Amino acid sequence: MTSQPTLTKAGDGPEGSEGPPQGSGLQAGLKNRHLSMIAIGGVIGAGLFVGSSTGIATAGPGILLSYALVGTLVVLVMRMLGEMSAANPTSGSFSAHADRALGPWAGFTIGWLYWFFWVVVLAVEATAGAAILEGWIPAVPQWGWALIVMVVLTATNLASVGSYGEFEFWFAGIKVVAIAAFIVVGGLAVFGVLPGVDSDQAGLSNLTGHGGFLPNGAGAILTGILLVVFSFMGSEIATLAAGESEDPQRAVTKATNSIIWRIGVFYLGSILVVVCLLPWDSEAIAEDGSYVAALDSLGIAHAGQIMNFIVLTSVLSCLNSGLYTASRMAFSLGERGDAPKAFARTTHRGVPRAAILVSVVFGFVAVFFNYKFPDSVFLFLVNSSGAVALFVWLVICFSQLRMRKIIQAEAPEKLVVRMWLYPYLTWLSIAFIVFVLIYMLTDTEHDGRSTMLLTMLVAAVTLAISLVRHRLAGRRATAAAPERDEVGVG
């Protein structure tokens, strides 16, 4: 099994010191409440609030089926990842498992693709957050807000893993409370029992009225899948963060077992409320966004500003977790020799400083491209990382097929989380992911084809670098073997 990174508890070390010595590895600085909220909030991305209106306009109430299909896939993939991570918790998560199960080429390729995805996300989210903040305080330019946000969250991650956990606890907590309140208030309005609200548009009849449940045909469900699939990226963060908790196995098991209700409540529940509060073809959904339009329909004052605050919180949460996730993946790659060794060095607080700084530098560069070359360089970066989520899920599936046999042979007692109906549901998941990837190649209306082709290009280049790199390493090892033999004979 791939070895777990060295973990130490915060405060360990010689008496009078602030922590373990330089380079002692990651620290178990995340508390149970941190892990619980990271697991709950990690599945709620800003894409749910911002991008759902496009899906509703495309598929109508049938977008619920799109969310349900993708949500089911995520539940299955997380079950597979939970099985492997509970047996061997590591900050490399699926990349480390792929390294062991499929070979170094797989761990290298998917690890760097995942890192690339999150550093691009840093730029996207920093720009989105800066736009909201500039609207509130226009005296500071948008690029200035982007810089401030990035610097603050970089400092948070550099301080300690506990600082990241504490910030994420509150960011995720606000998201969870906000969306739970939305579901409760909206649900009461749908059934006509919310005091002080007179909404003639609300009701379950919106699910079948205005052209039916599938007003644009069954094919719109597939298009809806392409539009919503990427909003689920982030579910796997809990398995990376578990590597820095005091009881990684328990944390992974808990996060894996709770994924069903988290997706059911926060995604399906909230979207169901939206399409029941308003007709799917309401102009307000297209103009104001689905959640703002829903709040407006309830007569809630300042609905737009309330939603801006919630979206800003989601953006900051995504930025915080994105920087953490990218740095831990870089750390794991450094430990395995797939990245510079400096990435695997930690401070006395257990923070991989070099991995964090390199990740944020690339994030800053991407932000610069967003402002200077938004329709060329930055568009390429966004599209070329767009399908990484599907590639990650596919690698997890193939890794689990192999890792189950390895775990059963080496340490069957570690199979505390088991994939259901193995290997049939694993193969079914693989078939569904491949189908979505192929369908993306036919989608020209929503840039699915360009996203798929560019992501495949970046993946092919990364894979080629991996194969060349490992072949050269093999030749060096072969060339060094005779020299060692001669020294031994001498």
- CA 15 from chain center: how many Å? 39
Separation CA 465–CA 485 (nearest Å) = 31
- The token pair at 63 is 């977008």
3-class SS string, 407-421? HHHHCHHHCCCCCCC
Separation CA 78–CA 392 (nearest Å) = 11
Q: Say how many C-beta atoms besides its own lie within 10 A of residue 167's C-beta.
A: 22
Alpha-helix residue ranges (DSSP H) falling in 242-338? 248-257, 259-263, 270-277, 283-288, 290-297, 303-335
Q: Say how many C-beta atoms besides its own lie within 10 A of residue 18's C-beta.
A: 10
Digitized pLDDT (tens) for each residue of the chain, 490 residues in all: 344 444 444 444 433 333 334 455 788 788 878 887 887 776 676 677 777 888 898 999 999 999 999 999 999 999 999 999 999 888 788 999 999 999 999 999 999 999 999 999 888 888 888 988 999 999 999 889 998 999 998 999 999 888 888 988 898 888 888 889 989 988 988 888 876 665 667 888 899 988 999 999 988 999 899 888 888 888 888 888 887 888 888 888 888 888 888 888 888 999 999 999 999 998 888 888 888 888 888 887 788 888 888 888 988 888 888 899 999 999 999 999 999 999 999 998 889 999 999 999 998 898 888 888 888 888 888 888 889 999 999 999 999 999 999 999 999 999 999 999 999 999 999 999 999 999 999 988 878 899 999 999 999 999 999 999 888 877 777 777 665 555 555 4
Beta-strand (E) ranges in 146-305?
none
What pTM does this model have? 0.88
Separation CA 348–CA 20 (nearest Å) = 5
Separation CA 17–CA 349 (nearest Å) = 11
Q: How far is CA 243 from CA 31, 240, 333, in A?
A: 12, 6, 15
Is there a contact between 378 and 370 (Cβ–Cβ < 8 Å)? yes
Torsion angle, alpha carbons of 356, 308, 375, 368, to 10? -40
